[in-house]
Amino acid sequence: MSRLEKKWWFIVVVSALTMMATRYVMKVAGVPFMDDANAARLLLQFFCFLGLWRCFSFVAWLLALALAPALAKPE
């Protein structure tokens, strides 16, 4: 985990983008977001959120690497 991924503002931004993207993907797929939460739907949302989190985190890390290389260095 890089120093960038430990910053609170990075976590907030990536979490917000990930939640919006997860809701959009679920809506487009025809899966109601939280009508009646069952285990299968929650697991599907969790895996979608986790995958999108890693994608957004990686893209932001690449952006930081291009703009401010000191932030993207691993500890």
Task: Give pLDDT tens digits for 20-61.
Answer: 999 999 999 888 877 777 888 889 999 999 999 999 999 988
How far apart, in Å, are the Cα atoms of 73 and each of 3, 16, 61, 70? 7, 24, 9, 6
At 7, give phi and psi (nearest 5°).
-80, 140
Domain extent for 65? 4-72
Domain total for the chain?
Answer: 1
Task: Determine if residue 30 is left, alpha or beta; phi over 0 gives left, psi from -120 to 50 gives alpha, anything else beta.
Answer: left
Tokens of 28: 């487009």
- pLDDT at 66 (0 to 100): 87
pTM reported for the whole predicted model: 0.79
